[in-house]
């Protein structure tokens, strides 16, 4: 085992309520060993042998660091008040691009405190917002009702049965398969209250345009002809997808007003209305409304764009735009832009 521990440098810890999710450290091995070397825990986990030695814990911790550095898996310690409670992990699928697998376990003495859903939910939402994935899968041993309940609470949907080898049992056993994408995970987090309509009530008449969601967006183009995309941050709908900077029109704003304000707030740049050239528009159903989004082109601004709301930015060559996962409304815009630039 080599290398000094620099876990926070390889992975910035995530907060989840009272929990912290952080990279594992060599010093976690004795506690991790004590928690996993428990038949009640190990028998539910596919790849954990039983008994589970301290050396295995040490080797596994060392391998998790290499996986984070390689960007293939994020196995994290679940910590509260400095104590290790369990682990949560996400592995990108080797054979299915943009898919990943989620796993977690909690030490027996910490069961029943909602630690599983808090930790696994946070890692899943972080992963969709920050990694190039769209779907997360998870498998639960058929008899493991506790773990299935964790997934259901986070928003995962059950999608069939499979079989998996369980090392500690030395057997191939049936597992329930679950999956979730952005829609499932954000729906579970922000339940939309459905107002109760009085029986027989006719729907109220809508004012013209009342069902429109007006958003102004801008393709900033630099002197090399590259286009700026911003990644929607965790906590917003469609987190993790790349978009043209911009945002919703506030009451009374023109699209140009809204863009000037949004580009300043989100990117810290100043743009004048004269430098915003109307280019195209998107028209697409969205969140129970209808998105109408003019897209402007802009080649001149003051300042250097930076992600002021923590969002990642990418300057992208027109012929590479299609490599970035974007909201469905943007697809036609990307094709137009690529042909135009």
Report residue 109 as tokens.
């003495």
Residue of 107, 116, 117, 327 interacting with ligand 8DG (CB under 6 A): 327
For ligand 8DG, give the closer residue by CB, 60 or 244: 244
Q: What is the largest CA-CA distance in the chain?
A: 71
Least distance (Å) between residue 138 CB and ligand 8DG: 27
The residue whose two tokens read 């987190």 is 239
The answer to whether 217 contacts ligand 8DG (rule: CB under 6 A) is: yes
Contact between 316 and ligand 8DG per CB under 6 A: no
Contacts of 211 (CB under 8 A, 6+ apart): 289, 290
Stretch that binds ligand 8DG, among 37-45, 56-64, 134-142, 243-251 (CB under 6 A): 243-251
Q: Name the one range near ligand 8DG by CB under 6 A: 87-95, 154-162, 195-203, 327-335.
A: 327-335
Number of residues that bind ligand 8DG (CB under 6 A): 17
Contact 99, 93 (CB under 8 A): yes
Report how far apart the first and last C-alpha atoms of the chain are (Å, whole number). Answer: 51
Part of the chain binding ligand 8DG (CB under 6 A), chosen from 97-105, 139-147, 157-165, 233-241: 233-241
By beta carbon distance, the residue nearest ligand 8DG is: 247
Question: How crowded is residue 13: how many other Cβ atoms within 10 Å of its Cβ?
Answer: 15
Q: Which is nearer to ligand 8DG, 58 or 253 (CB)?
A: 253
Query: Using the rule CB under 6 A, is 268 a contact of ligand 8DG?
Result: no
Contact stretch for ligand 8DG (CB under 6 A) within 69-77, 110-118, 220-228, 230-238: 230-238
The binder of ligand 8DG chosen from 10, 131, 286, 341 (CB under 6 A): 286
- Is 94 in contact with 73 (CB distance < 8 Å)? no
313 binds ligand 8DG (CB under 6 A): no
Angle, helix 54-70 to helix 29-36, in steps of 10 degrees = 110
Using rule CB under 6 A, residue 330 touches ligand 8DG: yes
> What totals of helices (H) and strands (E) does the chain contain, helices first?
9, 15
Q: Helical H runs in the chain?
A: 7-10, 29-36, 39-42, 54-70, 115-130, 145-154, 182-189, 255-267, 331-340
- Judged by CB under 6 A, does residue 220 bind ligand 8DG? no
Q: How far is CA 153 from the centre of its chain?
A: 17
Which of 28, 118, 243, 256 touches ligand 8DG by CB under 6 A? 243
Q: Edge-to-edge strands of the sheet including 277-286?
A: 246-248, 212-220, 289-298, 277-286
Reduce the DSSP state of residue 222 to 3 states and report it.
Answer: coil
Q: How many CB atoms lie within 10 A of CB 207?
A: 7
Q: Rank residues 47 and 289 by Cβ distance to ligand 8DG and give the closer one.
A: 289
Q: Does the protein bind ligand 8DG through residue 98 (CB under 6 A)?
A: no
Task: Report yes or no: 215 and 293 within 8 Å, Cβ to Cβ.
Answer: yes
Q: Residues 237, 268, 318, 332: which binds ligand 8DG (CB under 6 A)?
A: 237
What's the alpha-carbon Rg for the chain, to the nearest Å?
Answer: 24
Residues that bind ligand 8DG (CB under 6 A): 215, 217, 236-238, 243-244, 246-248, 262, 286, 291, 293, 327, 329-330
């Amino acid at each position: 085992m080599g290398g000094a521990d620099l876990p926070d440098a390889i992975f910035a810890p995530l907060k989840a309520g009272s929990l912290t999710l952080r990279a594992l450290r060599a010093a976690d091995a004795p506690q991790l060993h004590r928690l996993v070397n428990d038949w009640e825990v190990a028998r539910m986990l596919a790849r954990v042998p039983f008994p589970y030695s301290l050396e295995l814990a040490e080797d596994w911790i060392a391998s998790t660091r290499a996986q984070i550095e390689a960007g293939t898996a994020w196995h994290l310690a679940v910590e509260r008040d400095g104590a290790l409670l369990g682990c949560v992990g996400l592995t990108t699928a080797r054979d299915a691009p943009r898919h990943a697998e989620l796993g977690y376990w909690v030490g027996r003495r910490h069961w029943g405190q909602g630690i599983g859903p808090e930790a696994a939910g946070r890692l899943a939402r972080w992963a969709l917002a920050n990694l190039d994935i769209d779907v997360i899968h998870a498998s639960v041993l058929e008899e493991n009702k506790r773990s299935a309940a964790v997934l259901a609470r986070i928003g995962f949907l059950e999608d069939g049965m499979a079989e998996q080898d369980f090392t500690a049992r030395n057997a191939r056993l049936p597992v329930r398969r679950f999956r979730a994408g952005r829609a499932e995970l954000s729906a579970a987090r922000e339940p939309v209250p459905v107002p109760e309509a009085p029986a027989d009530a006719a729907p109220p008449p809508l004012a013209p345009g009342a069902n429109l969601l007006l958003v102004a967006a801008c393709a900033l183009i630099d002197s090399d002809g590259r286009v700026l995309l911003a990644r929607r941050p965790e906590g917003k709908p469609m987190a993790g997808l790349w978009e043209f900077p911009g945002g919703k029109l506030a009451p009374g704003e023109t699209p140009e007003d809204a863009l000037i304000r949004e580009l300043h707030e989100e990117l810290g740049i100043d743009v004048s209305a004269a430098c915003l050239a109307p280019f195209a528009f998107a028209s697409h159903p969205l969140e129970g409304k209808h998105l109408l989004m003019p897209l402007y082109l802009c080649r001149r601004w003051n300042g250097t764009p930076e992600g002021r709301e923590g969002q990642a930015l990418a300057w992208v060559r027109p012929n590479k735009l299609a490599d970035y996962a974007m909201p469905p409304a943007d697809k036609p815009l990307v094709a137009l832009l690529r042909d135009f630039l």
